[in-house]
């Protein structure tokens, strides 16, 4: 079992490092988009299914509560948390609409929508993105495999080049933490004049 652990660790490190190194510029641009939305009194909406739903909630919590800095709460919303809304939409209509209806209800021009999908093919996220774009909402995707359908739909695709769901999720989790840290830096620390002042 020790060999299995070592193999898993090696795979994870390889996938995550490749992903981050090849998407640094996109993560910076996405952080700037999110920070700009917050400055304009707009919000970040995040959605995903399964483990990606947990990632959406995790990331929203980091923004609303705090990440590393003591700073004001930031307006992020996971569209995965209200079971009454989700089950009523799925029951009365279809599951593919559970996120797009929420976007239509609470989204505003200038918001940002981040969809998380390890396959890139989650139909409910595809529909949410299409709805968001009609409303003037910037859309981004944390995706896996080769990006799937969402690759051609989102304004910005951040793709983990792997077909192994656990490795993709591990990379997405790190990307979420990096996004939080970059947004905090842009909003609260970029004016610092020395490395010591830029420390949390």
Residue in the structure block whose two tokens are 């070592």: 6
Compute the average pLDDT of residues 184-199: 67
Q: Is the pLDDT of residue 198 over 80?
A: no
Task: Please provide residue 161's backbone torsions phi and psi, each rounded to the nearest 5 degrees.
Answer: -85, 75
Q: Is 61 left (phi over 0), alpha (psi -120 to 50) or beta?
A: alpha
Compute the average pLDDT of residues 46-75: 96
Q: Give alpha helix (H) positions in the chain.
A: 2-39, 51-64, 83-92, 100-106, 123-134, 165-184
**pTM score:** 0.92
Q: Which two tokens stand for residue 152?
A: 């051609």
Using CA atoms, how far apart are residues 89 and 108, in angstroms rounded to an integer?
A: 21
For each of the domains in the chain, give its residue range(s) and CATH number, in order of start: 2-189 (3.40.50.10490)
| Least confident span in 37-46, 154-163, 182-191 | 182-191
**Where does the pLDDT of residue 190 fall: very low under 50, low under 70, confident under 90, or very high at 90 and above?**
confident
Using CA atoms, how far apart are residues 5 and 178, in angstroms rounded to an integer?
A: 25
How confident is the model at residue 192, as a pLDDT?
Answer: 59
Compute the average pLDDT of residues 155-182: 97
């Amino acid at each position: 079992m020790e060999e299995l652990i070592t193999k898993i660790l090696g795979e994870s490190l390889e996938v995550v490092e490749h992903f981050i190194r090849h998407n640094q510029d996109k993560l910076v641009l996405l952080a700037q988009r999110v920070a700009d939305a917050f400055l304009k009194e707009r919000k970040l909406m995040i959605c995903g299914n399964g483990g990606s739903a947990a990632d959406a909630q995790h990331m929203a919590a980091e923004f609303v509560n705090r990440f590393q800095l003591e700073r004001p709460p930031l307006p992020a919303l996971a569209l995965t948390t209200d079971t009454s809304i989700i089950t009523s939409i799925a029951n009365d209509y279809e599951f593919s609409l559970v996120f797009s209806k929420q976007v239509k209800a609470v989204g505003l021009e200038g918001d940002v929508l981040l969809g998380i999908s390890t396959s890139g093919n989650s139909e409910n996220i595809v529909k949410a993105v299409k709805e968001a774009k009609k409303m003037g909402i910037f859309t981004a995707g944390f995706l896996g495999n080769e990006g799937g359908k969402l690759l051609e739909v989102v304004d910005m695709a951040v793709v983990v080049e792997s077909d192994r769901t656990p490795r993709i999720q591990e990379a997405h989790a790190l990307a979420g933490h990096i996004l939080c840290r970059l947004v905090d830096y842009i909003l609260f620390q970029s004016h610092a004049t020395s490395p010591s002042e830029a420390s949390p």
